[in-house]
Structure 1
Amino acid sequence: MLRLALAIAAALLIQAAPLPSLTTPAAAAAGDVTKSHDYPGVGRFKGSVITGYDVKDFDAATLQAAPFKDGQATDPRKIEGRIVRIAYRTGAGPSILEVSRNFESQLANAGFETLLACDVDVCGGIPFTEAIGVLPVPQMWVDGFDYRYYAGRKIENGHETYASVLVSKNNDDIVAQLTVAERDAMQNKMVDAAAMAKGLGESGHIALYGIYFDTDKATLKPESRPTLDQIAKLLSGQPELSVYIVGHTDSQGAPAHNLELSRRRAEAVAEDLVRSYKITRTRLNTAGVGFLAPIGSNATDAGRALNRRVELMQP
């Protein structure tokens, strides 16, 4: 009986012992992928590095709010809004459960209520992991036979936010992905030719957010076509109009690199207008000012999103 009592007391002490806190560094740690940082108020497990980072101002993410049954989802939650996915790698030492519990504790402190917390068998095995949107290898690894999953939700000031954490193992390393989905209506980023003409006439410039590039690249993405159509419509309707196309970035990364990247992005827009719409090249001046003309705070994700833009300016 004494041995049993001692064992129970030891178990209670382990349960009551505080979990190591997650760290919330102000700047990226050595080894983090470029232009990445922790989600505010959540942080990372000590000793982790960011191996994958993806932020979309508007996208969709599916979280599981209940275990699978017979290989099928029973309560999938598809959230549309701002989606943040951050993958971490932690060296050998901690367990999957320890890393997961730390994230769960931190999210609880941030106001999230638990929807689901489960391990392999309870979650639903391999089919469960296949229904979770994780970043690709080598950014994130998932062992379908060894993982833990958490999903939570909070409502604050009428704003609904979901979070999930998937923790697994790759050899001796612990890997984790934090996904945060901030439900919100899609912002209308389309600016038509009439709005462009009005902006140029009233203030001499207009910011365009419907022109898209991959991170750190100057190749136009197909989603840019509707906005390019409207720029071409504006220029075709006013043959005497010449414009400056000005590229802008946020402040993350080396200043000289950002200046060059913003210039190349402006050039990419001009080249497409000439090639696809037969706009005379002499009507299109280009410049890149990098981070030097912010309209939002580069200390926040929302501000950086405002600063990443292309502007039309009238000379």
Structure 2
Amino acid sequence: MRSSFTLALLLAVGLAGSAARAADESPTADVKGSADHPVISRFSGSLLVGYGQQDWATTVLPGAGGMSKTERNKFADPLQVEGKITRLFYLSPLGKTPLEVFRNQQQALMAAGFKPRFSCEVKDCLGPAYFAIKDDNRGKGMDWAKGYLIGVKGNNFRGAKWGIPMSVTYDEGHILAGTLTRGGSTLQILVFTSLAENEYTDRAASYVEIVEPKSMPTGQVTVDAKAIGAGLQAEGRIALYGILFDTGKAELKPDSDAQLDQMVAVLKAQPAAKVFIVGHTDNVGSVDANLKLSQGRAQAVVAALAQRGIAANRLAAHGNANYAPVASNASEEGRAKNRRVEMVLQ
């Protein structure tokens, strides 16, 4: 009798020790370098255990049609968006259900003016939505906290360990996608909250993805002299995005030097050619202000080319404001394309 009691006591102590050691491996702080996004706060007491941010990238979000009826684990009308993408992954406190966490997230978003486009809380769409999101490898580029999800329920799973990255599931899952307008910009927001890996962890996990519209950084590619010459020969003009100015300014930025050098090279290779340097703007601001700005920018380029040895009588500056867009000014991406300098054969 005493031997059996002793064995049982030792076994209980051993199991308790194993559970305590496993609990020590749970994350206790946010992943290094992370921060909540200002448009949605965390559920009280949660840890931000996964974080990633891309200054310019693209992602696919569910459209209003939900899940495809013909393609497995695909959105019916996927919405591809570009801009600054922030990805956040939270673990809620022990004992908090996915429903409680999600309802708080939903309530906070709706109070802020969120406009839902797609939502699902039933299994017939949750499973496909889960795989559509998870199979996109969204967590691959994120930073993750060290540690594990630890089993705290079920005799056979106490102290068991599971990985944290993208540990949302379709069990007790809830998904919401839509838009929120802030400061004149419309943000795309996706929230997916479910059990964290399984019922034995007794925690909820939330994946949040926020896309902020942003113009693609321009001026990162210089058009070389050969391409400029070919463009002038074929079209009589060529748009150059490597000529850079600060917003509302007409002073050339130093990063423009590489593009200016290529413009000089083609003009020296074609000594008889005369060109207009034409400045273009987007539609932000008045036409009069944009005419003045585009003219000033064109004159700045002419002056820079003259300083590099091109005869002044071969160059003429012209400001065209926003009279000749090459894309819609309704989007930031379109406005970025419209802000350009062109070389045009006289």
TM-score (norm 1): 0.48
TM-score (norm 2): 0.44
